[in-house]
Structure 1
Amino acid sequence: MHQFFVDDSQIGKEYVTITGSDVNHIRNVLRMKCGEKIRISSTGGQNLYCAVAEVGEDFVQADILQEEAVLTELSSKIYLFQALPKGDRMEMVIEKAVELGVYEIIPVAMKYCVVKLDEKKAANKIRRWQAIAESAAKQSKRSMIPQIHPVMSYRDALQYAKTCEINLVPYENERGMKATKEALDAIEPGKSVSVIIGPEGGFSEEEIAAARASMEVISLGKRILRTDTAGICVMSLVMSAIEMKEMQE
Structure 2
Amino acid sequence: MNRFFVRKENILEDEKKLFINNRDDIKHISKVLRLNKGDILEICNGEKREYLAEIREINKDEIECKILNSMVSKSEPEISITLFQSIPKGSKMELIIQKCVEIGVKDIIPVISKRCVAKIKDVKSEDKKLERWNKISLEAAKQSKRGIIPKVGRVIKYSDIEKIASNYDLIIIPYELENSVGIKKVLKKSGKFKNIAVIIGSEGGFEEEEILEAVNWGAKPVTLGPRILRTETAGLVALSVILYELGDLGGN
TM-score when normalising by structure 2: 0.91
CA distance change for structure 1 residues 43 and 229 in 2, over 3 Å: closer, same or farther?
A: closer
Answer yes or no: is the 8 Å Cα contact 2:55–2:65 preserved in 1: yes
Displacement after TM superposition at 1:27 (Å): 0.8
Between 124-133 and 50-59, the greater mean CA deviation after superposition: 50-59
Q: Does 1:162 align with 2:142?
A: no
Report the residue type matching 2:137 in the other structure. Answer: A
Q: Secondary structure at the match of 2:141?
A: helix
CA distance in 1, matches of 2:37, 2:96: 36
Displacement after TM superposition at 1:160 (Å): 2.1
Displacement after TM superposition at 1:247 (Å): 5.5
Answer yes or no: is the 8 Å Cα contact 1:52–1:62 preserved in 2: yes
Report the residue type matching 2:18 in the other structure. Answer: V
Work out which of the residue numbers 34, 38, 42 in structure 2 matches 1:35. Answer: 38
Displacement after TM superposition at 1:108 (Å): 0.2
Displacement after TM superposition at 1:184 (Å): 3.2
Answer yes or no: is the 8 Å Cα contact 2:85–2:109 preserved in 1: yes
Between 112-121 and 89-98, the greater mean CA deviation after superposition: 112-121
Moved over 3 A (4+): 184-190, 244-248
**Which residue does 2:5 correspond to in 1?**
5
Pairwise CA RMSD of aligned residues? 2.0
Residue by residue over 1:40-83, the C-alpha shift from the partner in whole angstroms, topping out at 9 and shown as x without a partner, is: 11144431111222211111111111352643111111100000
Report the residue type matching 2:2 in the other structure. Answer: H
**Which residue does 1:134 correspond to in 2?**
138
**Which residue does 1:50 correspond to in 2?**
53
Q: Secondary structure at the match of 1:243?
A: coil
1:5-154 alignment to 2 at 5 Å?
5-12=5-12, 13-20=15-22, 21-68=24-71, 70-119=73-122, 120-154=124-158
Report the residue type matching 1:65 in the other structure. Answer: L
CA distance change for structure 1 residues 158 and 27 in 2, over 3 Å: closer, same or farther?
A: same
State the identity %.
37
Q: Secondary structure at the match of 2:117?
A: coil
Q: Secondary structure at the match of 1:208?
A: helix
Displacement after TM superposition at 1:216 (Å): 0.8
Residue by residue over 1:5-38, the C-alpha shift from the partner in whole angstroms, topping out at 9 and shown as x without a partner, is: 1111101121110002211111111111222221
Q: Secondary structure at the match of 1:235?
A: helix
Residue by residue over 1:147-182, the C-alpha shift from the partner in whole angstroms, topping out at 9 and shown as x without a partner, is: 100111001123324311111000011112x44221
Structure 1: state its 5+ residue gaps.
none
CA distance change for structure 1 residues 24 and 245 in 2, over 3 Å: closer, same or farther?
A: closer
Report the residue type matching 1:173 in the other structure. Answer: L
TM-score when normalising by structure 1: 0.92
Answer yes or no: is the 8 Å Cα contact 1:188–1:245 preserved in 2: no
Answer yes or no: is the 8 Å Cα contact 2:48–2:73 preserved in 1: no
Answer yes or no: is the 8 Å Cα contact 1:93–1:232 preserved in 2: yes
CA distance change for structure 1 residues 190 and 11 in 2, over 3 Å: closer, same or farther?
A: farther
1:199-218 alignment to 2 at 5 Å?
199-213=202-216, 214-218=218-222
Q: Secondary structure at the match of 1:167?
A: strand
Report the residue type matching 1:140 in the other structure. Answer: S
Q: Secondary structure at the match of 1:86?
A: coil
**Which residue does 2:238 correspond to in 1?**
234
Structure 2: state its 5+ residue gaps.
none
